[in-house]
Amino acid sequence: MQEKEGNTPMERESRLVVVSNRVGPLSDEGKAGGLAVGLADALRRRGGLWFGWSGETSEAGTTSEAKTEVEGDVSLVTIDMTEPQVAGFYLGYANRSLWPLLHYRLDLVRFDRESERMYRDVNREFARRLMEHISDEDLVWVHDYHFFFLGDELRKLGFRGRLGFFLHIPFSPPEMFAALPAANDMVHAMLAYDLVGFQTQNDRRNFANFCKHELHGHKEPDDYVRVGDRHIQAKVFPIGIDAESFAEFAASDEAEENAAMLRNSIGGSLPIVGVDRLDYSKGIIERFTGFERLLEDYPDRIGKVQFMQVAPLSRSEVEEYVDLRGEFEGLVGRINGRFASLEWTPVHIMTTGLSRRALAGIYRAARVCMVTPLRDGMNLVAKEFIAAQDEADPGVLILSRFAGARAELAEALIVNPFATDDVAAALERALAMPLEERQERWRAMRDKVFANTAAVWCRNFIEALEKSGSAPSGKGV
């Protein structure tokens, strides 16, 4: 690779190398999510490389020529995949085996040998291509469930530097994870990393318990886990957002225009909002079942509240997502059909994405935001909603007990999304909540959202990785 001059590891603290399925963007013009902002910030500070999939397919696939974009001291390097690689690795194994399994949805899991083989191949190929760009002085940080095997492949290819992994989604309980035919191999491969990060204590415990009960390992002090000759740290790093920028977005003209449009379109109704990729883990069906129950049990609310659900389509090539869309649209149609009048429609849905400023405006205009996943690594929407509020008139967050964010945002109204009556009662309580209580709860959550930002999360992980010992020389596990 064409290293930028002055970017040699000897001249500064070790260079950061980030690996994730999708890379960038490096500069935030209101498009990047908190994760990209946090990582871009860390990469810019230390100089570094961000490596991943170009998002394109070609005949050459992972053997395609790497595309490199350079901005200051940071390079974005991407490679293509072939169509079968995307089908097997990404749509198949990552999204139809691992995603449902790690979100506790064994009923939706599909295993097939061919996609597992492709997943392993793509991990090996990405490792091989990454080796062209890195040296043992680099700090390599691999992200998410697409690349469980990548670290082990790097070790087999001789990489001896520090190697970290962060899982953005939950880690299911050992009894459930064991249903994956490759479960033991996969966790063995994770032990090639020096540091493995999770969103919550629950995820970390599930991983450590798998090591203990299935791989005959041991839990040790300071979050260490030992299995055979591998001794690695498994720690919790709850991810945050770029709260300052989000609060600025919420106060921007574009946000104000969108907030005004929302208020105009719903007349005097109180706005309830939801913002989620259309994904079965997000509990969207359960949320609207709860909303329907509100209109049944608290009929005074009919004509007085309106639900705006932003639900950009996601993974539309995967059957379960097509089914979910049909179910969601059917449910919303039923609610609107049952309760709408000439001058009022209870639910509006938007499946086209919004800019981050427009989104911040919608959050700010909302009286209630519903975040009701059935299982979620963290859930950044909950934190963005808090960052976007106006202190003079903050909205109320209803948060699922199954979202990772629940550990920090304890002042939200916590619900079990499966308990429809309780969801309806929480909605009623949120709609009726006096200003003083709304402010009190919001201030407590705001302090946490502004303290544990994306930048802090990045810094904490990198510091822990720097302190971790590197693996025994050139050893695959």
Q: Which residue has the tokens 């500069």?
A: 27
Residues 35-74 close enough to bind ligand GDG by CB under 6 A: 35
Question: Is there a contact between 236 and 373 (Cβ–Cβ < 8 Å)?
Answer: no
For ligand GDG, the closer CB: 140 or 311? 311
Residue 383 Cβ, how far from ligand GDG at the closest point, in Å? 8
Specify whether 168 is catalytic: yes
> Cβ 99 to ligand GDG, closest distance in Å?
9
Cα(141)–Cα(235) distance, integer angstroms = 14
Interactions with ligand GDG, residue window 265-304 (CB under 6 A): 275, 277
Q: Does 33 bind ligand GDG (CB under 6 A)?
A: yes
- Alpha carbons 261 and 359: distance in angstroms, whole number: 12
Is the alpha carbon torsion for 108, 113, 114, 119 positive or negative?
Answer: positive
Which single residue is written with the structure tokens 């309106």? 306
Q: State the minimum distance, in angstroms, from the CB of residue 57 to ligand GDG.
A: 22
* Residue 356 in the binding site for ligand GDG (CB under 6 A): yes
Amino acid (one-letter) located at 334: R
Q: Which of 23, 154, 163, 169 binds ligand GDG (CB under 6 A)?
A: 169
User: Which of 143, 146, 168, 188 is the catalytic position?
Assistant: 168
| Binders of ligand GDG in range 302-321 (CB under 6 A) | 310, 312
CA dihedral 278, 95, 24, 258 (to 10 degrees): 0
Which span sits near ligand GDG by CB under 6 A: 17-25, 117-125, 175-183, 371-379? Answer: 371-379
Task: Render 168-193 in DSSP notation, one character per residue.
Answer: -S----HHHHTTSTTHHHHHHHHTTS
In the bound state with ligand GDG, the residue whose beta carbon lies nearer, of 98 and 477, is: 98
CB of 380 to ligand GDG, least distance (A): 3
Q: Annotated catalytic, 390? A: no
User: Which string of DSSP letters, residue by residue, matches 153-174?
Assistant: HHHHTT--SEEEEE--S----H
Taking CB under 6 A as the criterion, the residue among 378, 412, 426, 430 binding ligand GDG is: 378
The answer to the question of residue 242 lying near ligand GDG (CB under 6 A) is no
Task: Count the site residues for ligand GDG by CB under 6 A.
Answer: 21
User: Interface with ligand GDG includes 331 (CB under 6 A)?
Assistant: no
Closer to ligand GDG by Cβ: residue 187 or 358: 358
Q: Where are the alpha helices (DSSP H) in 240-398?
A: 243-250, 253-266, 284-297, 319-339, 356-365, 380-388
The C-alpha angle 324, 330, 335, rounded to 5 degrees, equals 125
| Binding segment toward ligand GDG, per CB under 6 A, in 177-185, 293-301, 354-362, 413-421 | 354-362
CB atoms within 10 A of CB 452: 19
The CB-of-349 to ligand GDG minimum distance in angstroms stands at 12
* Given 250, 380, 399, 430, the residue binding ligand GDG (CB under 6 A): 380
Positive or negative CA dihedral for 250, 254, 259, 262? negative
- C-alpha span between 466 and 163 (Å, rounded): 9
Quote the CA–CA distance of 446 and 360 in Å, as a whole number.
15
Report residue 149 as tokens. 């095997």
CA-CA distance, 85 to 82, in Å (whole number)? 5
CA angle, corner 306, sides to 302 and 307, nearest 5? Answer: 125
Question: Smallest distance, Å, CB 317 to ligand GDG?
Answer: 17
Residue 64's CB: how many other CB atoms inside 10 A?
A: 18
> For ligand GDG, which is the closer residue by CB, 387 or 424?
387
**Does 236 help bind ligand GDG (rule: CB under 6 A)?**
no
Q: Is the four-CA dihedral 381, 288, 355, 102 of positive or negative sign?
A: positive
Q: Which of 168, 235, 293, 315 binds ligand GDG (CB under 6 A)?
A: 168
Least Å distance, CB 354 to ligand GDG, is 4
Asked whether position 381 contacts ligand GDG by CB under 6 A, the answer is: yes
- Is 376 one of the binding residues for ligand GDG (CB under 6 A)? yes
- According to the binding rule CB under 6 A, does residue 359 interact with ligand GDG? yes
324 lies in the site for ligand GDG, by CB under 6 A = no
- For the record, the structure tokens of 353 come out as 């994405």
Give the range of 326-334, 349-357, 413-421, 441-449 binding ligand GDG by CB under 6 A: 349-357
Q: Where do contacts with ligand GDG occur on this chain (CB under 6 A)?
A: 33, 35, 168-169, 239, 275, 277, 310, 312, 353-356, 359, 376-381, 384
Known catalytic residues are 168, 376
